[in-house]
A and B are shown apart, each in its own frame.
Chain A
């Protein structure tokens, strides 16, 4: 860029990165992660504007504006913000459109929150549970350990790499992978992984074994065997979709949970389970 470009020291960038872990520290309904964002950006703002009280104040207030995103992709946006603040601090007064900093933040936080949630809440966490919970239920300590690693490692990689890419020209990177369809394909691939594991859990983690024995003309018929002949695990499948139907009808999870507890008691009382 121009001569006299202000650059953040690598020490400050590191500080900013480390502070992003506290983004949710003061999460509230009104401005959500705003306080956390200001806390995160503070070392950069200090270094760039520390000598000019008015600019410093404007900088701090800029990052006290509304912000909300998933935590894992946030360092990418923070990296971009750092680069833009450098440009802002280097440009002569009035030549840099200061409002563009917050427009970029606002433009990125929604889509990245959606992608972050579907990867980290919807995919890695689901795989972590799919792998870890059966082990934990069997009393194997590897359960929680694998859950931890499956969640922690991808998340840390995305944060660190994301911050670096964001700082070194992130907007173009994002435009590129979103325009050539890579981002969309990645999101869909993640969804496929999650769905396979969820389907597997339907069959392995829900257990409905009817103990009822019917007496038809003197022949002993075990009810469960009839269902198994139709399709193994068809009852867990049906029960799961019954719960899904209930959720779609906007019954709360807690209501359905209580219904399942009651169902269990009734089934035992009637000699079904």
Chain B
């Protein structure tokens, strides 16, 4: 109970960074995992699960007005429940999917409800109540907080028993199959990133990265350094003059 409260509180606070802390891309599994792990008493396990969930969900981003399945709720619950019940994270992930989808619907609801506070700000401005205009922004934040916290807390309370019951009844072949699928899931995360950033003109660089690892077995850090060098060389030698479109947003499709 106390653990559930703390997990919900901390995960929600990390989420709030994206609302009132400037959105430095911190409300992601790779950071939520280890911190939830710390609360659940197994930091390393949280770290590992967080890294794995990041690979699955790295392509799920709320760009513009699109609201993807709720990565914060999903990763906080999948991590906490895996450590609590001893089930593999692939199993808890499979069970966190419905909750993440439910939370997605809820998030859309919050974005609609927050319109009320935008209207309230208008009324306050008409009355000359400047403090009221300012407070309206914080009321929206408060609604985000309450919603996210409730989803995670309830998911934790209900999910623990459900997962224990299910895990005890799943045939071994399905359990090891789910564990194996953990190796396949990053393909989805990467495919989503490709969809987000692909540009035919630069397709060769995607395959350069692939070839570096497949043939020369370099680490991704080394590949990143080579990527930076490629970008620098391109910047130095590319012809000047405006060409192509300046906006990348027209290529990112709703996820």
Contacts and interface: CB of A to CB of B under 8 A. Distances in A.
Contacts of A61: 122, 125
A264 to B, nearest CB: 3
Interface residues of A, number: 130
Contacts of A134: 51, 219-220
Counting chain B CB atoms within 10 Å of each CB, the highest count among A64, A125, A185, A187 belongs to A185
Given A121-B63, A198-B194, A265 B178 contact: yes
B77 to A, nearest CB: 15
Counting chain B CB atoms within 10 Å of each CB, the highest count among A131, A183, A248 belongs to A131
A110 interface: yes
Nearest to B100: A254
B102 to A, nearest CB: 12
Q: Determine the main DSSP class of A at the interface with B.
A: helix
A203 B210 contact: yes
Interface stretch (A19-27, A80-88, A216-224): A19-27
Contacts of B190: 198, 201-202, 205-206, 240, 243
A193 to B, nearest CB: 4
Contacts of A68: 64-65
Nearest to A128: B25
Contacts of A34: 118, 121
Contact of B50 (A122, A136, A193): A136
A196 B204 CA distance: 9
Nearest to B184: A260
Contacts, number: 432
Given A184-B246, A268-B180, A189 B231 contact: yes
Interface residues of B, number: 124
B191 A131 contact: no
A42 B30 contact: no
A188 to B, nearest CB: 7
Q: Determine the main DSSP class of B at the interface with A.
A: helix
Interface in A240-273: 240-244, 246-248, 252-254, 256-258, 260-269, 273
Contact of A240 (B173, B187, B234): B187
A253 B187 contact: no
A118 B248 contact: yes
Nearest to A29: B111
A91 B109 CA distance: 44
Nearest to B90: A261
Interface in B208-255: 208-215, 218-221, 223-224, 226-228, 230-232, 234-235, 238-244, 246-250, 252, 255
Contacts of A117: 63-64, 248-249, 252
Interface of A: 20-32, 34-36, 38-39, 42, 46, 53, 56-57, 60-61, 64, 68, 71-72, 110-111, 113-115, 117-118, 120-141, 143-144, 147-148, 151-152, 155-156, 159, 178-209, 231-233, 236-237, 239-244, 246-248, 252-254, 256-258, 260-269, 273
Interface of B: 18-26, 28, 30-31, 33-34, 44, 47-48, 50-52, 54-56, 58-61, 63-65, 68-69, 90, 94, 97, 101, 111-115, 117-118, 121-122, 125-126, 128, 130, 133-134, 136-141, 173-174, 176-188, 190-199, 201-203, 205-215, 218-221, 223-224, 226-228, 230-232, 234-235, 238-244, 246-250, 252, 255
Given A21-B21, A195-B205, 11 more contacts: A26-B138, A28-B118, A71-B22, A131-B224, A133-B51, A136-B50, A152-B26, A191-B202, A195-B198, A195-B203, A252-B255
